[in-house]
Amino acid sequence: VQLQASGGGLAQTGGSLRLSCTVSGLTALSHDIGWFRQAPGKERELVGACSWSGSNMYYADSVKGRFTISRDKAKNTVYLQMNSLKPEDTAVYYCAAAPRRTVFITTSELGNPSRYVYWGQGTLVTVSS
């Protein structure tokens, strides 16, 4: 499985950015996609995740109401729309995939960072104050 994140850049406080994660090499297993971020000197944080079907979403409290994940299965791409950006959103953002054999998944399971085992390279988001 290969994941390619893109779309990072510089934004002003209150601005918006949209990140893309293109996924290739998927097998017959379904894969949930998570967006993580890591700021300098901080631990990596799962900010949001999307189930394989796109019907179930998880958002961290820190981004709830501001960030939205969507999935275009035809393009094998997952998007992270980031609105109302804050300086504390500055970080390297990564997308990752979690393989899954079950049909259903709870939001809690979707938000379990340890499930995500395939990683793409990061894309830097910088929010100026």
- What pLDDT digit, counting tens, does each position of 29-51 carry? 688 999 999 999 999 999 999 99
What single string gives the DSSP state of each residue in 21-86?
A: EEEE---SSEEEEEEEEE-TTS--EEEEEE-TTS--EEE-TTTTTTEEEEEEGGGTEEEEEE-S--
Count the alpha carbons within 13 Å of 113 in the hemisphere toward its beta carbon: 10
- What pLDDT digit, counting tens, does each position of 47-62 carry? 999 998 888 999 999 9
- The per-residue pLDDT for 30 is 81
- The per-residue pLDDT for 104 is 86
Q: With a cut of 70, say whether residue 110 has pLDDT above it.
A: yes
Neighbours of 30 (CB within 10 A): 17
Q: With a cut of 90, say whether residue 102 has pLDDT above it.
A: no
